[in-house]
Amino acid sequence: MSWYDELVGRLSLPEPAMVAPERALPGRAEPLDVPDTHYVNGHPIHPPFPEGLQLAVVAMGCFWGAEKSFWELDGVYTTAAGYVGGYTPNPTYEEVCSGRTGHTEAVLVVFDPAVIGYAGILRHFWENHDPTQGMRQGNDRGTQYRSAVFTFGAEQADLVRSTAEAYGKRLAAAGYGQITTEISPLPGLAAFYYAEGYHQQYLAKNPGGYCPVHATGVSCPVGTGA
């Protein structure tokens, strides 16, 4: 257990709560100013994407490190940082951090299923953060840091639930609590609000930047035959 976990336990800090829809910030009609291309590989970060590619949207704490971990994977065509799962249209970073939009920091992953399937994306997701922490990841605390997977269609949703069940057993055996990851359908990419340009591929633009990884060290059985 980390010092932060011990501190939370001693102080009995209340769990951050989702804002009620009627209390969410109004947002804006126009999207934020975002570059068209990926800073690292030059591929577009907005649709349309090349035929045959698939989409995934995941949230695993601070999106800086999460996005970097995905763009480095073989078979990933492009990535983008954004906000998902809330009520405020086209929110700013400051608004999301206020806890009054309902969004979580998320990553759009565009991938080639012939190289890395959705199961491989999920395995990377589960293994590279702690999905048992509720509304936080380590010291980053708030609804904007909650673990989540936003699915495109029933097939993705079924695979998320089955991998969550399998990984939950592994986590329990290692002494972790229950998985708290939100699993929600995404009606379309329009529900993914791209973050400001300076957040896109942030750790490539700022190589001295810091974004901790809160991986549990427990392997996910996806693709292992377990």
pLDDT at 10 over 50: no
Residue 62 known to be catalytic: yes
Query: What's the mean pLDDT in 65-91?
Result: 98
Helix (H) / strand (E) containing 169: helix 154-173
pLDDT for 11: 45
Provide the 3-class DSSP secondary structure of residue 8. Answer: helix
Q: What is the model's pTM?
A: 0.93
Residue 105, C-beta contacts closer than 8 angstroms, at least 6 positions apart: 59, 61, 62, 63, 66, 81, 82, 83, 96, 144, 145, 195
Determine which one of 62, 97, 211, 220 is catalytic.
62
Band of pLDDT at residue 211, cut at 50, 70 and 90: confident
pLDDT for 13: 63
pLDDT at 9 over 80: no
pLDDT for 1: 43
Return the amino acid letter for 118.
Y
| Pairing, β 136-137 against β 193-194 | unpaired
pLDDT at 6 over 70: no
Lowest mean pLDDT across 62-66, 75-79, 206-210: 206-210
